[in-house]
Amino acid sequence: MQTLAFAAKLLAACSLAIYTFSMPSNARLLDPRQANGFVSPSVDPFYRVPANISSYKPGDVIRSRKVSTYATSAKTSYQVLYASSLANTTTYDVATDATVTTLLSPYFPAAGPMKIWGLALPIDSTGKDCQSSFSFQLGALSKAKVTAFPAIFGVISNYALNKGWYVSVPDYMGSQATWISGNGEGFGMLDGVRVVANHKETVGSKSTKDAKIAIYGYSGGAHAVSWAGQLHRSYAPALNLVGVVSGGIPVDVKEMLSQLNKGTFSGFVLGSIAGVAAATPKLQTWLDTNLNAQGKKDIYATRATGGDSQCILDLLLRNLNKDINSYFANKDWQNDPTVSSSLDENTLGYGSEGQIPGTLPQLILQSQTDEIISPAQVQSYVDSQCAGGANINYQKIGTGEHIATAFQTLPIALQWTSGVLDGTLKQSGCQTTDTPFLPLLSQNKDANKILGVDIVSALKKYEGTDFGFNGIKFK
C-alpha cells in the first residue's frame, strides 16, 4: 500500500521533526494543517455545539456546508453538524451534543428504497482535532497529522456511491472526542445515519421512505458500529438498520489494557482511558485524584488539540512502550470499583442491554493472528451473543496482520453489505466460517468481480509497502 505507506512515513518523519528537533516550543501550538487552509475542529466555529442544543432532537441538522473530500465519485459532499447525545445521556429524545458527519450523495441513486451506508473510520485517537470529517477533506492528508487513512476510505466510499448508496461518515466520538466510550460512540453513529434523511441538499428528490441502512467499521470503527448495533433498539428503534459489519473489534477495554500495555500500541491504552474518562465523570474524578504527575501529563496529552494533537500515528509514536501501571501508586488500580465499573460499562455485550437481537443481521471479521485485538475476546463475545440469540456470520481469517486484514476482507464486507441492502441476503442465527488464508486484493479473483476493476486498481496502489511504523506492512 504504497501511497499510504509513503504518507505514513512522511507523517511519522514530519511529526518527529516537528516535535523533537526543529520547532521552537512556543510554535507548537500552531496546527500545521492550518497552513493548508484547513481550520481544525477545536477552533472552527462550524463545529461548535449551539447554546440551544436541547431544542433539537437527535438526528436533526443544525448547519451544513459544502466540502471536497477523498470520495471523488460523490455528486454532492457536505459537512453537516447534527444533533446527538453525550455518553451519559438518560433522555433519548432531547439532544445534548452536536457533532459533524460528511454526507455524500450518489449520481445515480439505487432503485427502490433509499440505501444508506454509514462508514465509521478507525479514528483510533482521543483528540478533538482527529475527527473523521476533518481528515476526510481532500488535501488534508498532504499537510500533516491526520487520521484514519482518508484516501483509502475515499476509494471505498466511491464503491458505495457507484452502487447508488448515500454515504455518511460520522464523527461518532462526539464533540468531546470520547473515544472508546460505548454509549457516546453508538449514539454518534446512529444519529450520523439518522441525519441523512433530514438533510435536504443531500437527499434531493429521492424519497427517504423505508430507507435501508447498513453500517461498517473496522478496528476503532468496529467499536462504534457494534455499539450502534447494541443501542439501536433502545435509542433509535425507528431506524431501518438492516446490517452491521465489523472487523477487529476492541470488545473489552480491560483486555485491551492488559494486552497492549508496555508495547508498540501503548498509545491506545493511554488514549482509551482518556476517552472513556471524558464520557464518564466518576472515572475522570478518580483519575484526577489518583494519577501521579507523569500519568496526568501523558494521559491528558492524548486529548491535546492543534499542533499537539495525537492522532493515530502520533498517539502511537509518542507513547511507545509506556506502562500505564507506573502512573498509579496502587498497582491493582484496575480493580478499584470506580475504575472497574467504568470499564465494564464500556465493554460490548455488558449488562442487560448488551444482547443484540436476532432481528439485526451482523457480519464479524477477525484475523486469528491479529496483533492488536486478541481473537479470544472476539470469540467469547460472539459465543455469548450467539447463546443469547444473535444473528451473526462470524468469519475467522486464519492469518493476517490487523490493518492488512481490514483491506483483504473488503470484498467479503462489501458483498455482504450489498446483500443486506438489496434484500437478497437472508441470514438467521449464527454461523462460523473458517478461511485459512486471504490473498492480497490484487491476487484475489473475487475482488475484481465484487468491487470492480477500477476500485481494486485504486486500492492496489496501497499494497505491499511499509506503514512506516514498527515494520507493519499493508499487504
Ligand X SMILES: *[C@@H]1O[C@H](CO)[C@@H](O)[C@H](O)[C@H]1NC(C)=O
User: Residues in the site for ligand X, rule: CB under 6 A?
Assistant: 50, 52, 55-56, 86, 88, 176, 278-279, 281
Nearer Cβ to ligand X (55/359): 55
Shortest separation between residue 52's beta carbon and ligand X, angstroms = 4
Nearer Cβ to ligand X (52/289): 52
Nearer Cβ to ligand X (99/176): 176
Shortest separation between residue 53's beta carbon and ligand X, angstroms = 8
Shortest separation between residue 282's beta carbon and ligand X, angstroms = 9
Strands 76-84 and 61-66: what pairing? antiparallel
Nearer Cβ to ligand X (86/311): 86
Residue whose grid cell is 477523498: 70
Which residue number is nearest to ligand X in terms of Cβ?
55
Nearer Cβ to ligand X (203/279): 279
**What residues have CB less than 8 Å from 348, skipping those under 6 apart?**
182, 223, 226, 227, 230, 249, 251, 252, 354, 381
Burial class (CB in 10 A: 0-12, 13-18, 19+), 10: middle
Q: Assign 3-state DSSP to the chain and report helix, strand, coil percentages, each to 5.
A: 45, 15, 40
One DSSP character per residue, 198-239 reads G-HHHHTTS--TT-EEEEEEETHHHHHHHHHHHHHHHH-TTS
> Which amino acid does the sequence have at 60?
D
Nearer Cβ to ligand X (86/456): 86
Round to whole Å and give the CA distance between 42 and 39: 8
Nearer Cβ to ligand X (50/263): 50
Burial class (CB in 10 A: 0-12, 13-18, 19+), 379: middle
Shortest separation between residue 127's beta carbon and ligand X, angstroms = 15
Shortest separation between residue 128's beta carbon and ligand X, angstroms = 12
Helix (H) or strand (E) segment spanning residue 88: none
Q: What angle do CA 261, 378, 182 make, to 5 degrees?
A: 75
Shortest separation between residue 78's beta carbon and ligand X, angstroms = 18
Shortest separation between residue 82's beta carbon and ligand X, angstroms = 12
